[in-house]
Amino acid sequence: MKNFGNLLLACMAALLGACAGESAGKCDAVVRIDADSVVNRGYIGNGVQWDPYALDYGQGRIEISDADWAKLYARLDFMRPAFIRVMTNTTSVVRDGRLDRMRGFEHLSHILNYCQSRGVTVMFGDWGGSLMDARAGTVNRTLLDHAAAYVAWLVGEKGYDCIRYYNLVNEPNGFWSAADGDFDLWAKAVSYFRGRLDAEGLAGKVELVGPDAAIWGPEEAWWVSRSRDELGDRIGLYDIHTYPSKCTVNSGEYTRILEAYRREVPAGKKIVMGEIGFKFVEPADSLLQAENLRRAAAHPNASTDDSQMFVYDPMYGTDMADALFQTIHAGYSGCIAWMLDDAMHFKEAPDKLKIWGFWNIFGDEIFGAGEERVRPWY
């Protein structure tokens, strides 16, 4: 709350400073603090997407050094995230049809150790690959069994009770998703998986998140309403993903879109922003998109298909703050910024990264020292 108050004061100071530069009677900036209206009871927190790193960028496997882990911890301590999303693939811990719990654990444990030691709430999950076959309309129950057993091991045996939520399948409403936009298929997987979590002793300990839909306007709100009506208490926390255009946020239209989803959430339940970032999708932002693509093409390690090159500019930080304030005001209980570190994900090739982060922890080692420095939106 202290950091929030400081940010509010900074915003007020900026507005008052702007007014001071105007001639008398021409400043229309008004700041009003309403201390009586409660927008949200029980805020989960704000944070960031922090996934296990790719570690192989076409030059052979590399490990994060102890010094770089210490650097990551120190930077996160300054950020003080309260809510972190960690997504994996269950297939990565299954070999020869059997669950290999320790596979990759030495890497994942660094992330979960941070969250556990700092009291950070974790939304864990599976991206969804191989969990279902959208063409056949079937779910992979064996793999879902493994996923449930794996998170039960993390929470129970390894003691990571910071994992409070599980996100089953990323953005199931999209054609790029494992569910391929099939609500019934996704709901079938959720229902089965909830039963498996309960059988593993996680009832009341780990809640399922849904629908995790990626949206750009209000028209996908039915994913929330159908989740409410058909899945009931199997969904413990509602969430959506947004990648709005700059003009949508700066105009305030973003609030109207968010409210359409918040209205569909049942009483007593919360909704969070499971991913948030900017994409210049509206015609009004076409020049920004052209510049974004130009920068990505000129960068030796940027995915031209999935990078936000304005993370190098202060503008991105002020725009993300704008989006965050609107999300809070619309009644959401938390936000996950996409994303912490460029080194987590690649797209077209191992050396073509999704540049969206606050930095690249392998800047000094591989991608250039300048990439390891923190960027303005941090």
pLDDT of amino acid 201: 98
pLDDT higher than threshold 80 for residue 239: yes
pLDDT of amino acid 40: 83
Domains delineated in the chain:
1-37 (no CATH), 46-372 (3.20.20.80)
d(C-alpha 296, C-alpha 352), whole Å: 10
Are 357 and 339 in contact by the 8 Å Cβ rule? The answer is yes
pLDDT of amino acid 32: 83
pLDDT higher than threshold 80 for residue 22: no
- Angle at 219 (CA atoms; ends 217, 224), nearest 5 degrees: 105
Strand-pairing partners, residue 139, are: 132
Higher pLDDT, 11 or 130: 130
Mean pLDDT of the chain, nearest integer: 94
pLDDT band at 79 (very low <50, low <70, confident <90, very high): very high
**CB neighbours of 20 closer than 8 A, spacing ≥ 6?**
none
Average pLDDT (86-92) is 97
Average pLDDT (344-349) is 97
Average pLDDT (205-232) is 98
pLDDT of amino acid 11: 54
Average pLDDT (117-133) is 97
pLDDT of amino acid 337: 98
pLDDT higher than threshold 90 for residue 125: yes
HEC sequence for the chain: CHHHHHHHHHHHHHHHHHHHCCCCCCCCCCCCCCCCCCCCCCCCEEEEECCCCCCECCCCECCCCHHHHHHHHHHHHHHCCCEEEEEECHHHHEECCEECCCCCHHHHHHHHHHHHHHCCEEEEEECCCCCEECCCCEECHHHHHHHHHHHHHHHHHCCCCCEEEEEECCCCCCCCCCCCCCHHHHHHHHHHHHHHHHHCCCCCCCEEEEEEEEECCHHHCHHHHHHHHHHHHHCCEEEEEECCCHHHHHCCHHHHHHHHHHCCCCCCCCEEEEEECCCCCCHHHHHHHHHHHHHHHHCCCECCCCCCHHHHCHHHHHHHHHHHHHHHHCCCCEEEECCCEHHHCECCCCCCECCCCCECCCHHHHHCHHHHCCCCCC
pLDDT higher than threshold 50 for residue 1: no
pLDDT band at 30 (very low <50, low <70, confident <90, very high): confident
pLDDT of amino acid 365: 96
Average pLDDT (330-357) is 97
CB 367: neighbour CB atoms within 10 A? 21
pLDDT of amino acid 7: 52
pLDDT of amino acid 242: 98
pLDDT band at 137 (very low <50, low <70, confident <90, very high): very high
pLDDT of amino acid 19: 53
pLDDT of amino acid 98: 97
pLDDT of amino acid 214: 98
Peptide bond into 87 cis (omega under 30): no
pLDDT of amino acid 56: 96
pTM, two decimal places: 0.92
Residue keyed to tokens 């669950």: 99
Instruction: For residue 243, give the nearest of 186, 281, 298 by alpha carbon.
Output: 281
pLDDT higher than threshold 80 for residue 50: yes
Average pLDDT (271-298) is 98
pLDDT higher than threshold 90 for residue 106: yes
Are 309 and 297 in contact by the 8 Å Cβ rule? The answer is no
pLDDT band at 42 (very low <50, low <70, confident <90, very high): confident
pLDDT higher than threshold 60 for residue 173: yes
